[in-house]
Amino acid sequence: MTLKETKTGQTVTVEKLNGEGAVKRRIMDMGITKGTEIYVRKVAPLGDPVEITVRGYELSVRKADAEIIEVK
């Protein structure tokens, strides 16, 4: 399952990042790494962006970025 498929109000744990190069590095720089818990706060009406809470701060990620974050 990916972060994009996660429903509002769920808390999930990052299993793997599937991106390459700069995209993967940018996501890791935001604090989203393997084992990190993510709480899905809101999803925009059209599904983009997704508002999440990671490591105590709020963050909005694009749908394309959420697709490469595998969670359980």
At which residue do the structure tokens 């701060």 appear? 57
CATH number at residue 60: 2.30.30.90
> pLDDT tens digits, residue range 16-62?
999 889 999 999 999 999 999 999 999 998 878 999 999 999 999 99
- DSSP for 1-68? -BGGGPPTT-EEEEEEE---HHHHHHHHHTT--TT-EEEEEEE-TTS-SEEEEETTEEEEE-HHHHHT
Q: How confident is the model at residue 9 (pLDDT cuts 50, 70, 90)?
A: very high
Q: What is the pTM of this model?
A: 0.88
What pLDDT does residue 42 have? Answer: 93
* Residue 7 structural domain: 3-71
How many domains is the chain built from? 1
